[in-house]
């Protein structure tokens, strides 16, 4: 923390010290003020950096010889350390700011767990930074091993951190908290405490900081190696160095390929630390500075020369060179005479090698090529190839690849390629005189062919015809034809002629080949005459046939060409369709009885149309029709529309059927016939219609079941059915119930209204037949509990919808019929 911000606080502190001294109290160390004003925070470590904290396994292992400080003069502090060999080492610490001191280490108890004693004596106090930055250098009077730095209260707990950078790598011997170990040469404290060691042999250590601090206590010491550690450096090869440590059982390097092994490989120059633990569990560290020779860089190959048959490559990037071929394989520049891939290996000044390859193509002399016929009529054209430029020793175009010659002889061409390489080739040609054009004449022309004859050559070749290699040739199609005539010298000259060949026309016959009664056909027009082999008009293009069969016609044209055609005709005879309908049952039916009709078609075709009519009104289509509501004198008829071939007429009507619909009788019977079981009662129905028969069922209790009005005296209530049949066989039925009211109702004296579905109500046999009967029920105190006129619903043992308790109840029943006496008694409700 900056000192200027604490000026007023120092004044208060001086007053406090004065008061304590006056009262005999102990003066607190100045560092206690920092503790009071700056709260410390918890230690943190930078991710990726692991501090190599030395374990505290035994006292001698962790011993440190600490400095005794004697002088603090401005920017310098001096002291002495007893080295392990008994010699006295002078220490001098200098900086670009002034040092102070405190009588002891601030927060000394933070180091109480370190396993070796630490003197709580006068130590330097440092503010680390003034202005742009602070630099502190600690130097010893001789080269020392393992210098140790104790740091107390680096930064403050108020969130102000101080960072230190060291000129040497360190390891952590003791972590007192609130430190972040940024790297092996840097750490940051926020009220941090630690003991660190710089492994190895050194004379000076420099500390840099850009963070100003109120003050931090530091002190220096030397840690004698508790056991010897040797680091052996192997052969320094290109790009790596191998170090091997010994003296312990486990090893941990701060870098390298195998940091947890005794032998480790490094690829960069620098100082490396190894932390070693021996068999007794004691741990210490040492360091080694190495220089790694870099690998050789791949050489660069460039093409420096190329001529016909060779190429020169030049390598760079090394001090010596070795090629795998060429004229000078141990030189930077090398010449090659064959295509291929060549590799050069270079060696650097440090002895490291690297290789690079390059593929080359050597320019070879061109191979001239001459193509074309070496024999020709009037001239010969040759074409040279295989190069970029050409030079003939004659001809029309001696500077072009293609050249025309008009005289026999031997000619040479010189071919030069893109690389400037040249080669020559010769060929001998023969030039014959040109032939005269042949003459073509027409020597014959008939229907379907033209004959041509050529003259003027010794041999001929036509591009078509019957005899293309003959002088005379016949053609059968119009067109232009060419003949090549060759003379005695072998030279050929063409000639062409266009001809028109009269071709017999294709004769066609039109008209329907299938019809009824007769067929009319027409042969194609344009002929001079026609000849049919049948029909009504065989000499005309239009002809009529009445019999099925195959007929031929011959047509003759004006150019004497003829054509024939044949056709097969089918003449179908006329047919007469008809339809007949029939009913599925008698046409005399009772009212309301459906009647079904079926139509039978003759010559109707494969899908005839059947249209039904009732009283001349269309009602349905199809092979069957049903009248669901017949009326007397309904007339049913069906029309057939035939699609049969040659049907005449195509629409016909069927026979008609007239329906006879007979009326159904009516029966009316008054209800509520009642008998008393001894006196019969006559049943008097009202029946209309021409009745031929009456029948009552069942017959029991009737005096005559075949009369319309029998006497009824059944033993119990019975429902009778009367069926009346007319003279036409139409029937009607009606029901009547004869109720028998006997004076013998059966009254039970117990029931169990417990809801189990068994005997839950007071059921009285025959009582429901007495519609006017009254039923009343009372309890033993005369309270009226139930009243009913008629007994359509039996009593369920409740009063006002609540169950009555088990007990005896009393009833009065008046049947209200035929002066039957009243019934009274008791009924018991049980569970």
* Cβ contact 95:137 at 8 Å: yes
Taking a C-beta distance cutoff of 8 angstroms, is the pair 370, 382 a contact?
Answer: yes
Question: CA 70, 76, 82 angle in degrees (round to 5)?
Answer: 40
* Radius of gyration of the CA atoms of the chain, in A: 70
Q: Which of the listed ranges 121-130, 216-225, 415-424 does the model predict with the highest average pLDDT?
A: 216-225
Provide the pLDDT confidence category of residue 24 given band limits of 50, 70 and 90.
very low
Q: Which two tokens stand for residue 831?
A: 């569970």
In whole angstroms, give the CA distance from residue 766 to residue 160.
Answer: 113
Q: What angle do CA 773, 776, 781 make, to 5 degrees?
A: 165
What are 353's two structure tokens?
């090698």
Query: According to the model, what pLDDT value does residue 596 have?
Result: 93
Percent of the chain with pLDDT over 90: 59
pLDDT computed for residue 158 by the predictor: 80
Structure tokens at 48: 């990726």
Report whether 433 contacts 377 (CB < 8 A).
Answer: yes
Measure the CA–CA gap between 443 and 470, rounded to whole angstroms: 14
Average pLDDT of span 142-153: 96
In 3D space, the residue among 549, 589, 588 whose CA is nearest the CA of residue 566 turns out to be 549
Q: How many CB atoms lie within 10 A of CB 361?
A: 10
Residues in the chain: 831
Q: Is the pLDDT of residue 552 over 80?
A: yes
407 token code pair: 């005289």
Per-residue pLDDT, 305: 67
Residue 677 is predicted with a pLDDT of 65
The tokens of 234 are what?
């192997």
Side-chain half-sphere of 435: how many Cα atoms within 13 Å?
Answer: 22
The stretch 588-608 carries a mean pLDDT of 91
Helix (H, G, I), strand (E, B) or coil at 627: strand
Work out the number of other CB atoms within 10 angstroms of the CB of residue 83.
Answer: 17
Q: Report the pLDDT value the prediction gives residue 50, as an integer from 0 to 100.
A: 35
Q: Rounded mean pLDDT of 97-119?
A: 94
pLDDT at 455 over 60: yes
C-alpha atoms less than 13 angstroms from C-alpha of 647 in its C-beta half-sphere? 19
Mean of pLDDT over the chain: 86
119 to 66, 84, 123: CA distances (angstroms)? 8, 17, 10
683-710 pLDDT per residue, tens: 999 999 899 999 999 999 899 999 999 9
Residue of higher predicted confidence among 214 and 805: 805
State mean pLDDT over 41-45.
34
Q: Residue 160 and residue 213: Cα distance in Å, rounded?
A: 9
Q: What angle do CA 616, 617, 622 make, to 5 degrees?
A: 105
Here the contacts of 421-424 (C-beta below 8 Å, separation 24 or greater) are: 421/308, 421/309, 421/363, 421/364, 421/365, 421/366, 422/365, 422/366, 422/387, 423/365, 423/366, 423/367, 423/368, 423/386, 423/387, 424/368
Q: Is 92 helix (H, G, I), strand (E, B) or coil?
A: strand
CB atoms within 10 A of CB 632: 13
Kindly indicate the confidence band of residue 310, based on its pLDDT and cuts at 50, 70 and 90.
Answer: confident
On the question of pLDDT at 559 being above 80, the answer is no
Location of structure tokens 């740091």: 151
Q: Which residues of 370-398 are buried (b: 16+ CB within 10 A; e: fewer)?
A: bebeeebbeebbbebebbeebbbeebeee
Does position 167 have pLDDT exceeding 50, yes or no? yes
Percent of the chain with pLDDT over 70: 91
DSSP 8-state symbol, 765: B
Sign for the pseudo-dihedral over CA of 46, 47, 48, 52:
positive
Closest listed residue to residue 116, CA positions, set 224, 277, 260: 224
The pLDDT of residue 130: 58
Residue written as tokens 């209260």?
153
Is the distance from CB of 504 to CB of 447 less than 8 angstroms?
Answer: yes
CA nearest 652: which of 601, 583, 598? Answer: 601
772 pLDDT above the threshold of 60: yes
Q: What is the dihedral of CA 155, 156, 157, 159, to 10 degrees?
A: -80
| Mean pLDDT calculated for residue range 730-753 | 88
Given a cut of 50, is residue 1 above it in pLDDT?
A: no
Q: pLDDT at position 671, please?
A: 64
267 three-class SS: coil
Q: Which region among 150-154, 386-390, 419-423 has the lowest average model confidence (pLDDT)?
A: 419-423
The β-bridge partners of 460 are 485
The pLDDT assigned to 80 comes to 97
Quick check: 57 pLDDT over 60? no
Structure tokens at 91: 């220490």
Contact yes or no for 201/229 (Cβ under 8 A): no
Q: What is the pLDDT of residue 27?
A: 31
CB-CB contact of 555 with 509 (8 Å): no
Per the CB < 8 A criterion, the answer to whether 415 and 368 are in contact is yes
Nearest-angstrom CA–CA distance, 533 and 592: 70
pLDDT given at position 42? 32
CA distances from 705 to 276, 308, 310, 687, 690 (A): 134, 145, 144, 15, 19
Q: What is the pLDDT of residues 490-511, one digit of tens each?
A: 888 899 999 988 887 889 999 9
Other CB atoms within 10 Å distance of the CB of residue 402 = 16
3-state SS track over 567-606? EEEEEECCECCEEEEEECCCCEEECCCCEEEEEEEECCCC
Under 8 Å between Cβ of 310 and 321: no
Beta strand 807-814 pairing with 823-829: antiparallel
Tokens 């010897």, residue located: 228
Mean local confidence (pLDDT), 303-330: 85
* Residues whose CB falls within 8 Å of the CB of residue 19, separated by 6 or more in sequence, listed in order: none
Q: What is the dihedral of CA 776, 779, 784, 785, to 10 degrees?
A: -80
- Among the ranges given (6-20, 181-195, 493-507, 560-574), the one the predictor scored with the smallest mean pLDDT: 6-20
Q: What is the pLDDT of residue 426?
A: 94
Query: Does pLDDT of 22 surpass 70?
Result: no
Nearest to 203 by CA among 150, 134, 148, 138: 138
Partners of 450 in the β-ladder: 445, 475
Q: Name the band, by pLDDT with cuts 50, 70 and 90, for residue 43.
A: very low
Estimate the crossing angle of helix 7-22 against helix 30-37, to 10 degrees. 130
Helix, strand, coil abundance in the chain, percent, nearest 5: 5, 50, 45
The neighbour count for residue 176, using CB atoms within 10 Å, is: 23
């Amino acid at each position: 923390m900056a000192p200027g911000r604490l000026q007023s606080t120092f004044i208060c502190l001086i007053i406090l010290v004065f008061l304590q001294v006056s009262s005999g109290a102990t003066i607190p160390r100045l560092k206690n003020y920092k503790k009071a004003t700056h709260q410390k925070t918890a230690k943190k470590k930078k991710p990726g950096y692991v501090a190599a904290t030395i374990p505290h396994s035994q006292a001698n292992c962790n011993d440190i010889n600490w400095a005794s400080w004697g002088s603090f003069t401005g920017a310098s502090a001096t002291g002495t350390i007893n080295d392990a060999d008994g010699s006295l080492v002078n220490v001098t610490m200098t900086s670009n700011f002034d040092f102070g001191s405190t009588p002891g280490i601030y927060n000394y108890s933070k180091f109480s767990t370190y396993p070796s004693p630490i003197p709580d004596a006068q130590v330097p106090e440092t503010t680390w930074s003034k202005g742009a930055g602070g630099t502190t250098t600690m130097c010893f009077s001789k080269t020392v091993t393992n210098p140790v730095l104790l740091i107390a209260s680096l930064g403050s707990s108020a969130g102000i951190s101080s960072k230190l950078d060291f000129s040497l790598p360190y390891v952590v011997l003791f972590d007192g908290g609130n430190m972040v170990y940024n790297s092996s040469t840097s750490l940051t404290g926020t009220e941090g405490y630690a003991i660190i060691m710089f492994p190895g042999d050194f004379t000076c250590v420099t500390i840099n900081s850009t963070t100003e601090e109120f003050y931090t206590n530091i002190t220096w010491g030397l840690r004698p190696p508790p056991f010897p550690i040797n680091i052996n450096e192997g052969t320094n090869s290109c790009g790596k160095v191998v170090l091997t440590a010994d003296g312990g059982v486990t090893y941990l390097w701060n870098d390298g390929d195998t940091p947890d092994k005794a032998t480790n490989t490094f690829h960069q120059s620098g100082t490396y630390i190894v932390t070693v633990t021996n068999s007794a569990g004691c741990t210490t560290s040492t360091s080694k500075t190495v220089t790694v020779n870099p690998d050789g860089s791949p050489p660069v190959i460039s093409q420096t020369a190329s001529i016909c048959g060779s190429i020169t490559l030049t390598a760079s990037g090394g001090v010596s060179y070795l090629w795998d071929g060429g004229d000078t394989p141990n030189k930077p520049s090398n010449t090659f005479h064959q295509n291929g891939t060549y590799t050069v290996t270079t060696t650097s000044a440090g002895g490291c090698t690297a290789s690079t390859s390059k593929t080359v193509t050597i320019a070879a002399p061109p191979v001239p090529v001459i193509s074309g016929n070496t024999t020709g009529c009037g001239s010969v054209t040759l074409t040279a190839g295989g190069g970029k430029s050409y030079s003939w020793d004659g001809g029309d175009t001696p500077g072009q690849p293609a050249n025309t010659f008009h005289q026999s002889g031997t000619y040479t061409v010189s071919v030069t390629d893109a690389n400037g390489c040249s080669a020559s080739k010769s060929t001998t040609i023969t030039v014959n005189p040109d032939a005269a054009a042949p003459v073509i004449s027409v020597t014959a022309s008939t229907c379907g062919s033209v004959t041509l004859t050529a003259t003027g050559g010794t041999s001929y070749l036509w591009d078509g015809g019957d005899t293309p290699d003959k002088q005379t040739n016949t053609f059968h199609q119009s067109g232009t034809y060419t003949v090549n005539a060759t003379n005695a010298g072998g030279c050929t000259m063409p000639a062409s002629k266009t001809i028109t060949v009269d071709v017999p026309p294709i004769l066609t016959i039109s008209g329907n080949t299938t019809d009824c009664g007769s067929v009319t056909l027409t042969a194609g027009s344009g002929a001079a005459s026609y000849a049919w082999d049948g029909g009504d008009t065989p000499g005309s293009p239009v002809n009529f046939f009445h019999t099925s069969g195959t007929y031929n016609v011959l047509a003759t044209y004006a150019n004497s060409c003829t054509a024939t055609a044949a056709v097969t005709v089918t003449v179908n005879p006329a047919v007469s369709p008809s339809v007949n309908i029939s009913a599925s049952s008698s046409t005399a039916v009772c009212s309301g009885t459906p009647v079904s009709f079926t139509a039978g078609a003759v010559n109707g075709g494969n899908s005839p149309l059947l249209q039904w009519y009732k009283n001349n009104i269309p009602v349905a289509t199809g092979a069957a029709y049903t009248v669901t509501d017949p009326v007397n004198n309904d007339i049913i008829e069906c029309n057939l529309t035939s699609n049969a071939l040659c049907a005449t007429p195509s629409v016909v009507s069927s026979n008609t059927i007239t329906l006879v619909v007979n009326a159904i009788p009516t029966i009316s019977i008054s209800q509520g016939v009642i008998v008393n079981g001894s006196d019969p009662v006559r049943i008097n129905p009202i029946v209309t219609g021409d009745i031929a028969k009456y029948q009552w069922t069942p017959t029991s209790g009737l005096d005559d079941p075949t009369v319309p009005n029998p006497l009824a005296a059944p033993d119990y209530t019975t429902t009778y059915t009367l069926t009346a049949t007319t003279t036409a066989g139409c029937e009607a039925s009606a029901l009547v119930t004869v109720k028998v009211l006997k004076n013998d109702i059966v009254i039970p004296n117990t029931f169990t209204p417990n809801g189990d579905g068994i005997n839950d109500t007071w059921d009285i046999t025959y009582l429901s037949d007495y519609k006017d009967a009254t039923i009343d029920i009372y309890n033993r105190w005369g309270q009226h509990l139930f009243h009913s006129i008629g007994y359509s619903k039996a009593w369920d043992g409740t009063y006002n919808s609540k169950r009555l308790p088990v007990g005896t109840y009393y009833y009065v029943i008046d049947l209200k019929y035929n002066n039957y006496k009243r019934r009274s008694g008791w009924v018991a409700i049980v569970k």
